[in-house]
Amino acid sequence: MSQLFDLTGKVALITGSSRGIGRAIAEAMARQGAQVVISSRKGDVCDQVAADINAELADQAGGAVAIPAHIGHKDALQGLVDQTRKLLGRIDILVCNAAVNPFYGSMTDLPDDALDKVLDINIKSNHWLVNLVLPEMIQRKEGAIIIVSSIGGLRGSAALGAYAISKAADLQLVRNLAVEHGPHNIRVNAISPGLVRTDFARALWENPDVLAARTAGDPLRRIGEPEEIAGAAVFLGSAAGSFTTGQNFVIDGGATIS
C-alpha cells in the first residue's frame, strides 16, 4: 500500500505552479519522490518556489527545477518541454493547471479580446502542450496527463461565462484524449476544484461576508485550501490511479450537490 502513491523516479511538468493549486500539486508530488518542474511567467518566482521545495527535501528523492514559460506562446511551450527533457530526461506526468479569467460579468459585455485570451490560454495552450508531450509517452506506453478544470465547467454562470465555457471544453478535451490514447496506456483525467483559497479566486473569499454567503449552502460550509486539491493529483499521477482515465474529480466541499 505504501508504494501506491510513490512517484520516485517520475518527472512531473506542472504549469501555473508558482502559487496556489499548482504549487500545492508540485509540493505534494515532490514529497512523494517526483522531480517537478515549476513553471509560470515570472522566472524569479519560479526560482524561489523550486528553492523552497529543494530546501525542504534536501535529503529525500524528490526535488524541483524552475523553467519559466508563457503558455500562450507555442514556441515557449516547445522550449518548456525541450528544457525539461534536457534537465530531467523525460516527462512522465503533465499537469495543465495554468489558466486566466480576465473578465467578470455578463457575456453580453464580454470584449472579443478577453474571449480570445480565455480560449487561447485555457483550452488551446493545453491542447498544444499535451501534443508536445504525448510522443514520448506513446513511445514508452505509459503516461499520466491531468488537466485542472473547475466546477464552473459543470454549471451555468451569470458572471464567469467565458471561463466556464473554457473549463467545460477542458473536460471534453480530457475525454477525447483518454479515448484516443488509452490504448497506449496513457491516462488522462481532470480535477474540478470548487472555491479554493488562491489569489486567482481572491475576490470571492477576501471579504468575510462574501465568503460566508458563497459557502452558506455548501455541505462543508467553508472554502477549500490548495493542499486539499493536491492529493487527487498525486493519486492520478501514481500507481494508485493506474486504472483511472477519462474522469473528472470534483473537489468542491459539496457545492455542486447542494
Q: Provide the annotated active-site residues.
A: 163
The number of angstroms, rounded, from the C-alpha of 80 to the middle of its chain's C-alpha atoms is 16
- Round to whole Å and give the CA distance between 109 and 100: 18
Helices (H), 57-107: 74-88
Residue 15 CB: number of other CB atoms within 10 A?
24
Cell numbers at 116, concatenated: 480570445
* 120 secondary structure, DSSP code: I
Are 210 and 244 a contacting pair, CB within 8 Å?
no
Are 215 and 144 a contacting pair, CB within 8 Å?
no
- Round to whole Å and give the CA distance between 180 and 161: 29
Backbone angles phi, psi at 40, to 5 degrees: -160, -170
The number of angstroms, rounded, from the C-alpha of 83 to the middle of its chain's C-alpha atoms is 20
Strand order in the sheet with 248-251: 63-66, 35-39, 11-15, 93-96, 143-148, 186-193, 248-251
Q: Which residues pair with 135 in a beta bridge?
A: none
